[in-house]
Chains A and B, each alone.
Chain A
Amino acid sequence: MVASKNIDVNKRLPDTRVDLCGITLDNPVIPASGCFGYGYEFAELYDINCLGSFSFKGTTLEPRFGNKTPRIAEAPAGVLNSVGLQNPGVSKVISHELPRLAEVFNKPVMANVSGFSIEEYVEVTRRLSESERADQIGWIEVNISCPNVHGGGMSFGTDADMAAEVVEATRKVTSKPLIIKLSPNVTDIAGIAKACEDAGADGVSLINTLMGMRIDKKTAMPILANTTGGLSGPAVFPVALRMVYQVYEAVKIPIVGMGGITTAEDVIEMMMAGATAVGVGAANLAEPYASKQIVEELPSVMAKYGIERLADIIGASHSHK
């Protein structure tokens, strides 16, 4: 365990705070994009200000309905989805969703930007960054890894050069910290993360969902209307952990680690792999209070492992080599 040498006795312990690209989070728990809407579904259930932040639904230039249904299929210890970036479009996010969010959330939110072309990523990033609601946004998370849309989405996240192009282009239109959300459906995620860092990204988030499918044996047809979908949930946790570990070795920028986190124990493990903050995705869909419970469990789980300051364990598993 890496113990802090300069414990500030004025700060209450255990200290769950982390710094993500210059913004201090009360704790590292960030519900992941696509699993938390624009926040207020959950704000009806609990005070979402207990969270570190959250990443709102992937937002595109125009409104999108997404793919045909069925777009949900269960999997062992997880779920496949092929929603396909349903969202009201950036104009409505600025005019409706962010004002509504301001009534229930007083922390910086992570704005997830999706697109089908570099121009679209740039335009959505620019509009969010320049809007009268920009103060509500802490970070721009550029999703170059959606597996459920065709012609765009994941194709930018599976090629290091294309990923770098998206980073360079969006970098020019925002002064917000730029976090790039990476796809696990690649052979070398560390190489892509490095290309994003070199192109000017302030952080990376990973992993998006793993491509998979299910078949209805009664009809011999794929369950998802889109044939394939993205797998998330506890099933992907070891894969996500391995990728965060590899990316931590390759880059210096902070990592938002996600993929199958359902407990505070998982948060500790993901941070030891190298994550500065963690995304909680599918857990929110099975347990409406999952993210709140993880936040509440953190102090006792920290005590269990003798952790006084959560920030001290970031990448701890790398120091033993």
Chain B
Amino acid sequence: MKQVKLTVKSNKMLTPTTYRMRLEGDVSAITQPGQFINLKLDGHFLRRPISVCDVESSHVTIIYKALGQGTEEMTHLESGTVLDVLTGLGTGFDSSRSGDAPVLIGGGVGIPPLYLLAKHLIREKKKVTVILGYNSEDEIYYAGEFAALGCEVKIATADGSVGIKGFVTDAYKELKRTLNDYTYFYTCGPTAMLKAIYRDVYTRGGVDGEFSFEERMGCGYGACMGCSVLLKTGGYKRICKDGPVLRAEEIYW
């Protein structure tokens, strides 16, 4: 973890509720896809944990949804604003487990951390399939960016306006019929989606993988025990420090 000052370089609306912010500064502590940063906002006691979408030499990109008061206020931050940020938090995805043909499954606001992971996997010459789930066409973002990396992209929308009508698990089942077996999966999204993937892909499908979780956090660096979860393998993990990514075998719903 490193506490740094980052400068807002851009803060752009991607869909009516989803925004992308690029921040400039020392991002050297971000070493793994699936990690997050914790932003201090004026007038709020606790910081806002947001997953890292992409990182380059001196920039970090985050994509966030205006869900509550804090994230709503973030949408008004202008270029040039300097923020106090804790960087490189959490234990992210382990790309070394991917095998040759991993599938990345993201839903809604859970999609961003998969982007940096996809970038790593493509760089490692893996055949990457990405399944992205949205409610409807107007909520779609980043599908083109994944394709530009060289990923095979499939879209599912709940209302059927684009791609397969239904959930990411419906898209997965359809792909499974037409493509070779996947070697591993990585997923992030709403809890209901993660549970469906655990059932359909891990338990029934027999594919191993990793899940990234969201939890209300106090500190974001393992001190307050606010975000602990029990593990199937015994003991507990703190979502903020030992997670947010857990291996399928560890998860105790």
Contacts and interface: CB of A to CB of B under 8 A. Distances in A.
Interface of A: 34-37, 41-42, 44-45, 57, 65-66, 69-79, 81, 83, 86, 223, 233-234, 282, 284-286, 288-289
A37 to B, nearest CB: 5
Best-surrounded residue of A75, A79, A289 (most CB of chain B within 10 A): A79
Contacts of B224: 34-35, 72, 81, 83, 285
For this complex, into which size category does the number of interface residues on chain B fall?
20 to 34
SS of A interface (majority): loop
Contacts of B236: 65, 86
B228 interface: yes
Interface in B211-253: 215-219, 221-230, 236, 241
B156 interface: no
A34 B227 CA distance: 13
Nearest to B47: A286
B3 interface: yes
Contact of B227 (A72, A223, A233): A72
Nearest to B68: A74
Contact of A286 (B46, B222, B226, B229): B46
A288 B228 CA distance: 19
Contacts of A282: 45
B218 A65 contact: no
B2 to A, nearest CB: 10
B196 interface: no
Best-surrounded residue of A35, A77, A286 (most CB of chain B within 10 A): A286
Given A81-B218, A86-B228, A285-B224, A74 B3 contact: no
A288 B219 CA distance: 8
B140 to A, nearest CB: 23
B204 interface: no
Interface in B40-66: 40, 44-47
A74 B48 CA distance: 11
Given A284-B219, A285-B219, A79 B46 contact: yes
B226 A71 contact: yes
Contact of A45 (B1, B40, B45): B1
A284 B217 CA distance: 13
Contacts of A37: 222-223, 225
B86 interface: yes
A34 B223 CA distance: 8
B215 A70 contact: yes
B173 to A, nearest CB: 31
Nearest to A284: B223
Given A74-B44, A74-B45, A66 B216 contact: no
A65 B230 contact: yes
A70 B45 contact: no
Contact of A41 (B44, B45, B221): B221
A226 B70 CA distance: 24
Interface in B60-116: 86
B45 A66 contact: no
Contacts of A285: 46, 218-219, 223-224
Contacts of A73: 216
A73 B236 CA distance: 21
Nearest to B86: A288
Contacts of A76: 45
A236 to B, nearest CB: 11
A65 B45 contact: no
Nearest to A87: B225
Contacts of B223: 35-37, 41-42, 284-285, 288
A171 B236 CA distance: 34
A189 B175 CA distance: 65
Nearest to A82: B226
A140 to B, nearest CB: 21
Contact of B218 (A44, A72, A77): A72
